[in-house]
Amino acid sequence: MRGPGNLYGSCPTGWAHDTSRCSHGGAGVTAEAARAAEKMAVAVMAEGFSFSTETITVRAGAEVTIEFDNRDDGTPHNVAVYTDASASEAIFIGEVVTGPAEITYTFTAPETPGNYFFRCDVHPSMHGAFVVT
Protein backbone atom coordinates (compact mmCIF):
# COMPACT_ATOMS: atom_id res chain seq x y z
CA MET A 1 0.00 0.00 0.00
CA ARG A 2 1.43 3.34 -1.07
CA GLY A 3 0.01 6.79 -1.42
CA PRO A 4 -1.35 9.67 0.59
CA GLY A 5 -3.41 7.38 2.74
CA ASN A 6 -0.35 5.50 4.01
CA LEU A 7 2.23 8.20 4.67
CA TYR A 8 2.92 6.95 8.14
CA GLY A 9 3.59 3.33 7.47
CA SER A 10 2.04 0.94 9.89
CA CYS A 11 0.64 3.56 12.22
CA PRO A 12 -2.98 2.97 13.12
CA THR A 13 -5.68 5.46 12.32
CA GLY A 14 -5.49 8.28 14.80
CA TRP A 15 -1.77 7.77 15.38
CA ALA A 16 -1.15 11.44 16.14
CA HIS A 17 -3.15 11.14 19.31
CA ASP A 18 -1.58 7.91 20.48
CA THR A 19 2.19 8.35 20.71
CA SER A 20 2.56 5.32 22.92
CA ARG A 21 1.70 3.10 19.99
CA CYS A 22 3.45 4.99 17.21
CA SER A 23 7.05 6.16 16.95
CA HIS A 24 6.66 8.71 14.17
CA GLY A 25 6.19 11.71 16.40
CA GLY A 26 5.39 13.04 19.81
CA ALA A 27 7.08 11.63 22.88
CA GLY A 28 9.49 9.32 21.05
CA VAL A 29 11.11 12.10 19.06
CA THR A 30 11.41 14.32 22.11
CA ALA A 31 13.19 11.62 24.12
CA GLU A 32 15.69 10.92 21.37
CA ALA A 33 16.50 14.58 20.96
CA ALA A 34 17.12 14.95 24.68
CA ARG A 35 19.47 11.98 24.76
CA ALA A 36 21.42 13.11 21.72
CA ALA A 37 22.04 16.45 23.43
CA GLU A 38 24.46 14.92 25.94
CA LYS A 39 27.93 15.54 24.56
CA MET A 40 31.27 14.98 26.21
CA ALA A 41 34.70 16.09 25.09
CA VAL A 42 37.83 14.29 26.26
CA ALA A 43 41.42 15.30 25.53
CA VAL A 44 43.89 12.44 25.05
CA MET A 45 47.56 12.90 24.26
CA ALA A 46 50.14 10.37 23.12
CA GLU A 47 53.77 11.13 23.87
CA GLY A 48 56.74 8.83 24.27
CA PHE A 49 54.63 5.79 23.35
CA SER A 50 52.32 6.50 26.29
CA PHE A 51 48.83 7.95 26.65
CA SER A 52 48.32 10.99 28.85
CA THR A 53 45.53 9.20 30.72
CA GLU A 54 44.94 5.67 31.98
CA THR A 55 41.18 6.17 32.26
CA ILE A 56 38.59 7.76 29.99
CA THR A 57 35.21 8.18 31.70
CA VAL A 58 32.01 8.99 29.83
CA ARG A 59 28.25 8.84 30.38
CA ALA A 60 26.24 5.98 28.93
CA GLY A 61 24.90 6.80 25.49
CA ALA A 62 26.72 10.13 25.29
CA GLU A 63 28.07 11.56 22.08
CA VAL A 64 31.79 11.40 22.83
CA THR A 65 34.40 13.61 21.25
CA ILE A 66 38.03 12.63 21.75
CA GLU A 67 40.50 15.33 20.87
CA PHE A 68 43.57 13.22 20.21
CA ASP A 69 46.99 14.83 20.12
CA ASN A 70 49.78 12.60 18.85
CA ARG A 71 53.04 14.29 19.77
CA ASP A 72 55.40 11.51 18.70
CA ASP A 73 57.24 12.73 15.66
CA GLY A 74 57.01 10.23 12.81
CA THR A 75 55.10 7.68 14.91
CA PRO A 76 51.58 6.50 14.10
CA HIS A 77 49.06 6.19 16.93
CA ASN A 78 45.29 6.01 17.30
CA VAL A 79 42.66 5.56 19.99
CA ALA A 80 40.42 2.52 19.67
CA VAL A 81 37.71 1.42 22.13
CA TYR A 82 36.79 -2.23 22.66
CA THR A 83 34.42 -4.13 24.89
CA ASP A 84 37.36 -5.65 26.79
CA ALA A 85 41.12 -6.19 26.76
CA SER A 86 40.86 -9.00 24.23
CA ALA A 87 40.15 -6.22 21.68
CA SER A 88 38.03 -8.65 19.70
CA GLU A 89 34.86 -6.56 19.65
CA ALA A 90 35.30 -2.93 18.65
CA ILE A 91 33.11 -0.08 19.84
CA PHE A 92 35.05 2.59 17.97
CA ILE A 93 38.32 2.55 16.03
CA GLY A 94 39.91 5.94 15.49
CA GLU A 95 41.88 6.73 12.38
CA VAL A 96 45.64 6.26 12.79
CA VAL A 97 47.56 9.54 12.57
CA THR A 98 51.33 10.01 12.37
CA GLY A 99 52.67 12.65 14.73
CA PRO A 100 52.90 15.39 15.26
CA ALA A 101 49.19 15.52 14.47
CA GLU A 102 45.85 16.19 16.07
CA ILE A 103 42.56 14.57 15.15
CA THR A 104 39.04 14.72 16.54
CA TYR A 105 37.14 11.45 16.95
CA THR A 106 33.39 11.35 17.51
CA PHE A 107 31.32 8.29 18.45
CA THR A 108 28.48 7.21 20.70
CA ALA A 109 29.30 5.65 24.07
CA PRO A 110 27.79 2.26 24.94
CA GLU A 111 24.33 2.39 26.50
CA THR A 112 25.38 -0.09 29.18
CA PRO A 113 27.50 1.22 32.06
CA GLY A 114 30.64 -0.76 32.78
CA ASN A 115 34.37 -1.04 32.33
CA TYR A 116 35.49 -1.16 28.72
CA PHE A 117 38.94 -0.85 27.18
CA PHE A 118 40.89 1.50 24.97
CA ARG A 119 44.25 1.14 23.29
CA CYS A 120 46.46 2.22 20.43
CA ASP A 121 46.05 -0.39 17.71
CA VAL A 122 49.58 0.20 16.45
CA HIS A 123 51.10 -0.26 19.91
CA PRO A 124 48.81 -2.50 22.00
CA SER A 125 51.00 -1.88 25.04
CA MET A 126 49.44 1.60 25.09
CA HIS A 127 46.08 1.01 26.74
CA GLY A 128 43.70 2.04 29.50
CA ALA A 129 40.21 1.73 30.93
CA PHE A 130 37.21 3.17 29.10
CA VAL A 131 34.64 3.61 31.86
CA VAL A 132 30.95 4.16 31.09
CA THR A 133 28.87 5.47 33.99
Which spans of this chain sit near Cu ion (rule: CB under 5 A)? 77, 120, 122-123
What does DSSP assign to residue 12?
Answer: P
Pick 10 or 104: Cβ nearer Cu ion: 104
> Residue 101: what residue type?
A
Per DSSP, helices labelled H in 12-127 are: 27-36
Nearer to Cu ion, 77 or 110 (CB): 77
Least Å from the CB of residue 118 to Cu ion? 12
Please return the burial class of 55, using the count of CB atoms within 10 Å of its CB with bins 0-12, 13-18 and 19+: exposed
Give the nearest distance from C-beta 131 to Cu ion in angstroms.
21
Question: Of 103 and 122, which CB lies nearer to Cu ion in the complex structure?
Answer: 122
- Please, which residue, 126 or 131, has the CB nearer to Cu ion? 126
Contacts of 110 (CB under 8 A, 6+ apart): 60, 61, 91, 116, 132
Kindly state the smallest distance separating residue 64's Cβ from Cu ion, in Å. 20
> Could you tell me the smallest distance in angstroms from the CB atom of residue 74 to Cu ion?
12
3-state class of 88 per DSSP?
coil
